[in-house]
A and B are shown apart, each in its own frame.
Chain A
Amino acid sequence: MTVNSLDPRVNRLPAIGVPGQIVPKAPLDQFGTFEVFVQPKEGKSFQHEGIVHAPNLEMAYVLAKEAFTRRFLCTSLYVTDTRNVYISPLTEGNTDAYDLIPEVPSQPGEKVSFEIYHLVKRGKQHTHAGTVLASTPQEAMHLARTAIKKDKTVYNVWAIRTSEIRFTTPEDSDLWLTLAEKKFRDASDYKGGDKLKEFLERAK
């Protein structure tokens, strides 16, 4: 099969497969997902930015750095395996998620630290709300209801064991050192609209 593209890189690609015969991909051949949290500014809460696919936690951290913190101001980043995020029941209307979390009697076993996240505006991101000590994620959510101060309805709650998170170490924080001078990477800096207008004027 010959490819004729304006992009020379496409024309150089090796031929794969037989034309007209699509070989289906094996199911579940993708890496698992990891949740990415970003701190936009010193002193601000971490917020959920999105997900990355990666083979492990460390690779997820590395890939998340470029996928989510290249253009905008950022001071820190962390990631965790999606399977380690415990979520509260989903709510409708003005129902507070905490009203749907069952009461959990104090659990036996060692107490560990859990990070708690709140969704307070629908369509926005979950934001870090505080930390509680508990034995299970269910207990952590139950305790968070009274332990974490809130002044808005919480539509959804997440709990993540602190030990399951790959945090930015002091050594990593250099990674964002150059961000202040990255305006050229911002699409608006290319003034695309102005250029298009100029072109249309010339074409008249």
Chain B
Amino acid sequence: MSHEAALHEGHGHDDHGHHEHHDTFLTKYVFSQDHKMIAKQFLITGMVWAVLGGLMSVLFRLQLGYPDASFPWLESILGKWAKGGQITPEAYYALVTTHGTVLVFFVLTAGLSGTFANFLIPLQVGARDMASPFLNMLSYWFFFIASIIMLSSLFVETGPFSGGWTAYPPLSALHDASPGSKTGMDLWIIAMALFVVSSLLGGLNYITTILNMRTKGMSMTRLPLTIWALFFTAVLGVLSFPVLLSGMILLIFDRNFGTSFYLSDIYVNGVGALSNEGGSAILFQHLFWFLGHPEVYIILLPAMGMVSEIMSVNSRKPIFGYMAMLGSLFAIAILAFLVWAHHMFVTGLNPLLGSVFVLLTLLIAVPSAIKVFNWLTTLWRGNIRFTPAMLFAIGFVSLFISGGLTGIWLGNAALDIYLHDSYFVVAHFHIVMGVASMFGMFAGVYHWFPKMYGRYLNNSLGYIHFWITMAGAYLIFWPMHYQGLAGMPRRYFDFSIWESFKQFAELNRFISTIAMIVFATQILFLINFFYSIFKGRKVTVLNPWESNTLEWTTPIRPGHGNWPGEIPEVHRWPYDYGKDGHDFIPQTTPVGEDETGTH
């Protein structure tokens, strides 16, 4: 019994020991400085946003699928936003915009990086906590305040911002251009600014921790790929988010203080000619996409890292080409900064400049191909255990291939000039960035849930969750390629007046139905998650997945400080699976004398 107690109540005794005494409810669960608790806070806040964002997509899919139907219950919930039981264009655009903003930033950035960078970095590099636990706590609370402000924008009289998550001025800069560009937009900008502060605090912490707080023997090339991916993610965020912030500040000035950074030659219906001259509406797009494109990789890289780790563990085989995986992460991170204008091929960009961006954009396919083939080779001749985490990892690779390949279409300017802002784009980025990263996040949750809560998620629910979501993702987004090839523009409230686009009414209904089923399946996951926190099967072994990495050397429920005694020393890389007849050799195992080639 005493041994078990030690397993469960492991506390740091050296540098962080003093944190352990007198933890009140407030310091343990609310203003916690324990990276594991902060990770859970990020995860659960992210999940709340994911549900809200998903619900929004269900509502606007309802409009797209059933443009003529009336749902009286909608009016009783949404009031004037659904007059006569039908969502109004105002509400539709508000929903689309908020769905995009929330999913991209609050779920797939804060919810994904925030959760797993916080949870995994100290545990996998062998540190007692983040370099600055206090900044880490602030990072969450800035995110929390940003969330509250974003949420409150949903309830203002004129509605939340409704000009698309990219918030291009002049639409976003002119109070009179759209009802959503009034107070809703001010709140949107403030929320985003606080969000940027949150991700900078987090990012600096992640970088510092990875560089400075690795345990003895944990050289950079012995880091699990998860950590590498999170490292590059943090670097991308720290370098690109400030640019977005500056863009947002200029936008606030244009909106409220009469400057003309983005405004020129504008006549607003019902208002008249504005006095602003000399600004450039395109400038904002450069600032926005200088973050916006790295943002795609901020979302994708953590998922890639976790998938690499989970695939290796569950194939019982080393990740194939560790250095190539690392090099391709590095290449993607560099290229992420050099391709932003491929979102702007049709803005009147200088064609020569455009051609440079075509070249650099398509170049990303090379490191992406390396990653895909390396994942495939990792599976090859392995011994695959289909845990729910592994299924989601395989699903990630499949989606990454499908969505990545259409990126080759869109990155080629001569095709983009046709496909830009059509449903083809919707299909592309939802598959490669949205659903794929979400799969990475699910894989991570299923894999590390036992470490987070000391209990297992229900396996069968995990399988049901995976297969419905996997099939659903393809059923929803695959046909959208065809809509895009028919030229159907995105962000349309209704297609019935268009001779060229109205032929897909039936397909839209089908997609909407599947979307609702997939959303309902996610509720199943939520039930599984919250039920298992309290009632799930208890973890009884230290290392349930028989994994090599350090987090599994901590007690089943690690306390603040992670290891009760000394932090273990590392002697090898984390991917010695199936080596010399051993199923797995943890990183803490010293290298044997007759061992073949070691890292």
A pairs with B = no
A residues near B (Cβ < 8 Å) are: none
